[in-house]
Amino acid sequence: MLLRFTVANFASFRDETELTVISDRRHEDLAVQPVPRSQQWALPVAGIFGPNAAGKSNFIHALAFMRGAVLNSHQRWRPRQEIPRRPFLLDPEKANDPSEFTIEFVAEGVRYEFGFQCNSKEFLSEWLYSYPEGRPRKIYDRRAGSPIDFGPTLHGQKVQVERMVRPNSLFLSAAVANNHEQLLPVFDWFSDDLRIAWETNFDARLRETRHYLETHDSKSILALLKYADLGVSDVSFSDVKLPPEQAAKIAELIQQIDSEAVDVSPDEISAGVDVELSHVIEGHDFKLPLELESSGTRTWLSIVGPIISTLMHGCVLVIDELDARLHHHLAAQFIRLFQDPRTNPHGAQLLFNTHDAALLGPDAVATLRRDQVWLTEKVDGATALYPLTDYKVRSIENVEKRYLGGRYGGLPFFDEELLEIVISEVEAAGS
C-alpha cells in the first residue's frame, strides 16, 4: 500500500514535491483501505493531469529511480559508477545539490518511511523508520562519514553488512543481498508490490499476460479482453523454435556465462514469441498476428496480465500515459476496476498520469474524487504538482469544464503571436 511519495531536485522537480494518497474521508463507495494505527484511509486511485512537458512522466521516473536504487545499487551498479540521478539542470546551483526521495508505504501490515539523499557520487544519507504503534521507530539512520545509527529493533548481521556498503549503494540493497531477513518485507515491497508500466517494458507485461492466460487465471484474462470490446474472442502464444543445433549452442553459452544455469535445456531456448488474436466474424474464426492489431489492442493485451496480478495481490500499479493508446471509455473502465470494492477487494492501487480531461467529467464511468486528482504545470521551468483539494470545488461543479477553462491551472498556454509567424511563412511559400 502506497501512502505518499516526495521528491526534490530530480528532473523537472526543483523543489520538494509531494503526492499523497492518504485521505481523511472513508469514501464508502470506493475500495479504500485503512492506514494502520490511524484514522486515515488509503485511496485506490490517484491521477496526475496536466499539459505536455509539465513533468507528469518525470514524477513516475522519480519513483522508478528510487525503486531501481533499492533493487540494483549494491549488486548491479559498478563500484565506481556514478549514481544515475537527474538533477534539475535549469538552475546552476541545483546541479551540484543533492537529490532527495522519501516514500511511505505499508508492507505486511506495518507502515514504513524510507528515504535517501544522494549526489552523483554517493548516498549522503539513508533512513528507514517503522510505525508499529503509530509512532516512528528508528530501524537505521545512515549519514555519510559516520557509523550507521541502528535502532534497537534491528537485529542480524548489520555491522557486517555496513562494512560491505559502498558510497554508491544503499544499505537496504546491500543488506537484502546478504540475506538480512528482517529487511525483506521492505525490499519485497519495492520489488513485488510497486509495479511500473510504460512503453519500455511492453514485452515483460506481455509475458505476464501470457503467464496468467496459461494458468488457472485464464478466464479473467479472456474476460477483460472481451470486456474491452475490441472484437477479440481469444488469444494464443507460441514460442518460435530454433534449429536444435543452434538451441544447443545457446544453452551451452548461457551455462558458461551463468554458473547457476546448469538446468537450462535447449528446448527452453526460443527465437521469440508468436501472438495471435482470434476474431469471430459472422460465425467464422479469423486469427490475426499481434503486429497487425491496433495499438490500442496491443496495449490492452499487454496490460491485462498486470491488472489481474495487481488486483489479486493488492499491489500498486503505476501507469505512464494512461490515455496514450486507450480510448477514453476504456481508460475509464480501467480506473473503475480499481475504484470498485467488488473488483478490488484486496486494496490494490492505481497511480497514473494522463491528458484526458474527460476523466474529470460528470459523465465519467469512474468518477475521481477531489483528493484523487493532482495537477501539474511548469513555473520558471520547474514542475509544480498540487492537488485539486487546494481549490474549493462544489459537489455539483463540472470539474472537467472548469479544468479546461483554466480554473485550476495545469493547462498549456498557446501564444497566438507565434502562430502568426507560422501563418506568414506558409503564405510566403505559396506566393
Higher pLDDT, residue 253 or 203: 203
Closest CA to 150 of 179, 170, 181, 129: 129
pLDDT tens, 264-281? 666 656 557 888 988 888
> For the segment 334-381, what is each residue's pLDDT rounded down to a tens digit?
899 999 999 999 999 999 999 888 888 766 667 888 899 999 999 889
Whether 140 and 123 have beta carbons less than 8 Å apart is answered as no
Residue 404, H or E segment: helix 399-404
Predicted local distance difference test score (pLDDT) of residue 267 = 61
The pLDDT tens digits for 30-77 are 999 999 989 999 999 999 998 888 899 999 999 999 999 999 999 999
Least confident of 13-27, 319-333, 353-367: 353-367
Tally Cβ neighbours within 10 Å of residue 169: 24
Q: Once rounded to an integer, what is the mean pLDDT over residues 132-141?
A: 92
Write the pLDDT tens digit of every residue in 141-196. Answer: 999 999 999 999 999 889 999 999 999 999 999 999 999 999 999 999 999 999 99
User: Are the beta carbons of 130 and 141 closer than 8 angstroms?
Assistant: no
Burial 66-95 (b: 16+ CB within 10 A, else e): bbbbbbebbeebeeeeebebbbbeeeeebe
Listing DSSP states for 11-47 in one string gives TTB-S-EEEE-EESS--TTS--EEPTTSS-EE-SEEE
Residue 424 reports pLDDT greater than 70: no
- Give the separation between CA 358 and CA 385, rounded to whole angstroms: 20
Q: Which single residue is written with the C-alpha cell 508468436?
A: 274
Instruction: Average the pLDDT over 408-431 and give the result.
Output: 52
Instruction: Say how far apart CA 19 and CA 59 lie, in whole Å.
Output: 9
Report pLDDT for 114: 98
Please write the tens of the pLDDT for every residue from 67-125: 999 999 999 999 989 999 999 999 988 888 999 999 999 999 999 999 999 999 999 99
pLDDT of residue 394: 53
The dihedral region occupied by 352, where left means phi > 0, alpha psi between -120 and 50, and beta the remainder, is beta
Domains and CATH numbers, the chain: 1-200+313-420 (3.40.50)
The Cα–Cα gap between 46 and 385 comes to: 13
Maximum distance among all alpha carbons in the chain? 81
What was the pLDDT predicted at 181?
93
Residues 253-267, mean pLDDT to the nearest whole number:
59
Strand partners, 177: none
In this predicted structure, what is the pLDDT of residue 52?
Answer: 84
Mutual orientation of helices 295-313 and 328-339 as an angle, nearest 10°?
Answer: 0
How confident is the model at residue 417, as a pLDDT? Answer: 61
Q: What pLDDT is attached to residue 306?
A: 92
Average pLDDT over residues 314-343: 88
The secondary structure of residue 119, as a DSSP letter, is -
CA neighbor of 70 nearest in space, from 152, 146, 172, 213: 172
Q: Is 312 helix (H, G, I), strand (E, B) or coil?
A: helix
Size of the chain in residues: 431
For 187-220, how does the pLDDT look when each residue is reduced to its tens digit (9 = 90+)?
999 999 999 998 888 889 998 989 888 886 678 8
Mean pLDDT of 314-338: 88
Q: How confident is the prediction for the chain on average, in pLDDT? A: 86
Percent of the chain predicted with pLDDT > 90:
52
Cα–Cα distance between 72 and 174 in angstroms, integer?
Answer: 9
Cell numbers standing for residue 24: 481523511
Examine the pLDDT at 396 and tell me if it is beyond 80.
Answer: no
List of residues 6+ apart from 347 with CB closer than 8 A: 1, 31, 33, 42, 44, 314
Grid coordinates representing 340 are 470498485
Supply the pLDDT for residue 397.
53
Q: What is the reported pLDDT for 411?
A: 46
CB 247 within 8 A of CB 269: yes
pLDDT band per the 50, 70, 90 thresholds, residue 292: confident
At residue 273, the pLDDT reads 83
Residue 137's φ and ψ, nearest 5 degrees, are -125, 120
Model confidence at 416: pLDDT above 70: no
